Structure 1
């Protein structure tokens, strides 16, 4: 409300910016990556197994009604993402090498110091830096490796004796990418994200089209379940809590993680990247999570009531729902899950790295220690039970959100001032359109 529902008013402007229509080809702005690469890299951290396994976990516990609350959180999260990514660019640090360090650690400490709260800013920044490392190792690493491993084992029927192979292959591939830093990460994710998104959305649309007669009942189940009065804990409250948790885990709006990537964009107008970033929760939660929820709800209507009669949850429930239409869908889905997991781990490794270097200093040795530790946790994550993994991941990401959102409320006036200045430039033609 403070920004006048900016996410709807300036949606088209955000599309124009990310498509390059306002990008001057001859400009030499500070930064490492383009608007599109920033969006793709941040999306690779959000469009991941939260959309597949996370939605499966939400519906297994809260039923189809959890979907309604995921959509609401997605729309509201667009404004949160705008604020934190605008701040990320405004308060970023350009290192002597030309590399960028930004995100909540920097805008919390510097922004709050400017507003007269230096001690609070430092406390929130250090707290966030610690939690983003734990979040990277949990939700951005262990959870991804765990569910990718579970999907591969289930799809191809690997024996326990061969399970080690997926762990070490995943770890080796991720290390080969993250050792090259942000240019290497953005190069890989900008190629992976469009492929995996088209593949996954295409499969979802096929399932929905093949069961078109169930789409109406599925939406009815989603809406009715959102306000279910039958058993408060399992009905309305269960759907509400699971919808909030899984949507936040999926799109990370308010968590602050995406602003770390968006800080590296080539621009001298912070608001442009804030506008680009508000597209993330829309793509991630409103579109992709809703598609997953429809597939699972349709599968539930075909197979029986929630929770699933076979007790499935997470990625296994989502896989079973796809296979209820075509059994051979297990193979492209396994490939999509693997790509989702890899892209998310790559992006989150960068988030955790920036928290690590904020606490312990920049430097090749420091960075290498963190990257090796991150890859060791991939191996560990494939061996832990799902419930323990998701509880740890939720706790770390929740803690990140607390430190970040407290700071966002203090810094909203700063963003509003930047927004008004930028919109004046757009209206006057000073911010030029090139395409």
Structure 2
């Protein structure tokens, strides 16, 4: 392991000179050339359907909303009905269904070899690498981030407090999409001879649609998804994260007087070193980090928010009044759907990524025999990410008066607005936020590296050589992302993340009946166990 880490660092060191010499002129030249080459794709993905003369909604967001609404209805409000069951699964209340020393031969998962069931491979009677809680934190680490901090400020600056209402609604509907895709991720995952899990949309698109007599179509959709996922992991899941973390770190530590001013390459190298150390260990190492970092960073951020809300508790009812009063105004609707969806979700990979399919890759690694058990766990993601954390951020921004409706706010400015809101309560809170942002960026990068590697292995094989090629490239992009401002590259990567929903949503719609079967199977197992216990 140490030799691999030394090799990785030796590959990254030569990047320093190049990164340090990167100038604004070079950035501008690369941006211009790259934009000219890729603008057709970016424009197509973000093409808007006009609602009024001034307001339009990208077609991809309409697909996400309609899809989430359909799954909410199809699964009879699984967002609500499955909520407390999901909490019980995470707590371990149903672990006895997995470890009853009886190996149940299930058709829910397959290996690459001869369609063997991994339940017959492992003496534990269960396949997988991580617990329900670890899978949840690994997926949350990729979704909880700058969208919760800066994206909310952007949304409210466009649509006012009423945007918060639509943000909550989208988070609620997204719980159903997340349930479907993560159930399928476990159902069609593959397990190699060492017990390593490979899962996600690539597998349920190819194998699930093959079962429905659409083998070639399913394979095509899987390849398209994998290509887009790799691109998204380098851009939105990597370069953007580290760049924004460095910008806020530089701002809080003195701006132009900061010791790190103009030294993004150094910040990037430090981050790349830690990222490289973690991602070399695979999903088990990632999960061991995220199950500690994610609760810590979320708790730190939430505690800071709660203190500000506690100081201004008398203003909370008025803030909720502004949210509901403005929800159905012109600006509220525009801000909710365009501000939150376009700005917030675009810059943080849709915030909760419901419908994109990426989270199902992390959830596929869970130890379980029941695919629907992890689907239920997954629906907690949008609730935590959007309904809870984003709403709390919105309340603080509203109460502290940081939002000026109608002003254009960049992501960097959005993070600063949230920082100023925290500073209004306690002067040193911006430092807490900066640490949280760095942890958010770090956790997002290690999770997206896993997503990208899973897609990479689907296209180029599962050899160690292919694995380390991808991970080395990923770490190089960490340094480039911190040192340069390649906005056109990140825009293109965001477009690739958006495009992941096209093959994924097709698969979710066609395979929804399979998910219903898995849900019925799991509920039956729970009922039988409860009957025996009673």
Under a length normalisation based on structure 1, what TM-score does the superposition of the two structures give?
Answer: 0.92
* Corresponding residue number in structure 2 for 1:129: 226
Instruction: Using the TM superposition, name which of 337-346 and 315-324 deviates more.
Output: 315-324
SS in 1 for 2:383: helix
Instruction: Using the TM superposition, name which of 379-388 and 323-332 deviates more.
Output: 379-388
Report the Cα offset of residue 290 of structure 1: 0.7
- Verify: 1:210 aligned to 2:311, yes or no: yes
Distance 1:181 1:363, change over 3 A: same
Q: Of 510, 523, 526, which aligns to 1:410?
A: 510
Instruction: Using the TM superposition, name which of 348-357 and 44-53 deviates more.
Output: 44-53
- Verify: 1:315 aligned to 2:415, yes or no: yes
* Corresponding residue number in structure 2 for 1:7: 79
Report the Cα offset of residue 305 of structure 1: 2.7
Question: Counterparts of 1:187-266 in structure 2 under 5 Å?
Answer: 187-229=288-330, 236-245=333-342, 246-247=344-345, 249-266=350-367
* Corresponding residue number in structure 2 for 1:288: 389
Report the Cα offset of residue 293 of structure 1: 1.4
Question: Counterparts of 1:415-426 in structure 2 under 5 Å?
Answer: 415-426=515-526
| CA distance in 2: counterparts of 1:154 and 1:433, whole angstroms | 58
| CA distance in 2: counterparts of 1:139 and 1:289, whole angstroms | 19
| CA distance in 2: counterparts of 1:349 and 1:213, whole angstroms | 44
Q: Deviations over 1:16-58 (max 9, x none)?
A: 1111111135651111111111111111111122211222332
Report the Cα offset of residue 365 of structure 1: 0.9
Report the Cα offset of residue 67 of structure 1: 1.8
Alignment RMSD (CA, Å): 2.2
Distance 1:384 1:221, change over 3 A: farther
| CA distance in 2: counterparts of 1:322 and 1:308, whole angstroms | 21
| CA distance in 2: counterparts of 1:423 and 1:96, whole angstroms | 30
Question: Counterparts of 1:57-72 in structure 2 under 5 Å?
Answer: 57-72=154-169
| CA distance in 1: counterparts of 2:89 and 2:329, whole angstroms | 41
Report the Cα offset of residue 149 of structure 1: 0.5
Distance 1:162 1:146, change over 3 A: closer
Report the Cα offset of residue 325 of structure 1: 2.3
Q: Is 1:143–1:393's contact at 8 Å kept on the other side of the alignment?
A: no
Report the Cα offset of residue 272 of structure 1: 0.6
Larger Rg: 2
Under a length normalisation based on structure 2, what TM-score does the superposition of the two structures give?
Answer: 0.76
Q: Deviations over 1:223-247 (max 9, x none)?
A: 33332236xxxx5324312223335
| CA distance in 1: counterparts of 2:409 and 2:457, whole angstroms | 45
Report the Cα offset of residue 8 of structure 1: 0.6
Q: Is 1:132–1:352's contact at 8 Å kept on the other side of the alignment?
A: yes
| CA distance in 1: counterparts of 2:430 and 2:192, whole angstroms | 45
- Verify: 1:93 aligned to 2:194, yes or no: no
Distance 1:285 1:262, change over 3 A: same
Distance 1:68 1:304, change over 3 A: closer
* Corresponding residue number in structure 2 for 1:367: 467
Instruction: Using the TM superposition, name which of 322-331 and 11-20 deviates more.
Output: 322-331
Distance 1:383 1:161, change over 3 A: closer
| CA distance in 1: counterparts of 2:484 and 2:335, whole angstroms | 25
Q: Is 1:52–1:315's contact at 8 Å kept on the other side of the alignment?
A: yes
Distance 1:213 1:15, change over 3 A: same
- Verify: 1:37 aligned to 2:134, yes or no: yes
* Corresponding residue number in structure 1 for 2:287: 186
Distance 1:16 1:308, change over 3 A: same
| CA distance in 2: counterparts of 1:390 and 1:432, whole angstroms | 55
Distance 1:432 1:329, change over 3 A: farther
| CA distance in 1: counterparts of 2:373 and 2:454, whole angstroms | 22
Q: Is 1:62–1:238's contact at 8 Å kept on the other side of the alignment?
A: yes
* Corresponding residue number in structure 1 for 2:152: 55
* Corresponding residue number in structure 2 for 1:376: 476
How many pairs align?
428
| CA distance in 2: counterparts of 1:287 and 1:64, whole angstroms | 16
Report the Cα offset of residue 163 of structure 1: 3.4
* Corresponding residue number in structure 2 for 1:268: 369
| Unpaired stretches in structure 1, ≥5 consecutive residues | none
Q: Is 2:154–2:409's contact at 8 Å kept on the other side of the alignment?
A: no
Distance 1:66 1:379, change over 3 A: farther
Report the Cα offset of residue 164 of structure 1: 2.8
SS in 2 for 1:325: coil
Q: Is 1:22–1:431's contact at 8 Å kept on the other side of the alignment?
A: no
- Verify: 1:306 aligned to 2:423, yes or no: no
SS in 2 for 1:86: helix
SS in 1 for 2:128: coil
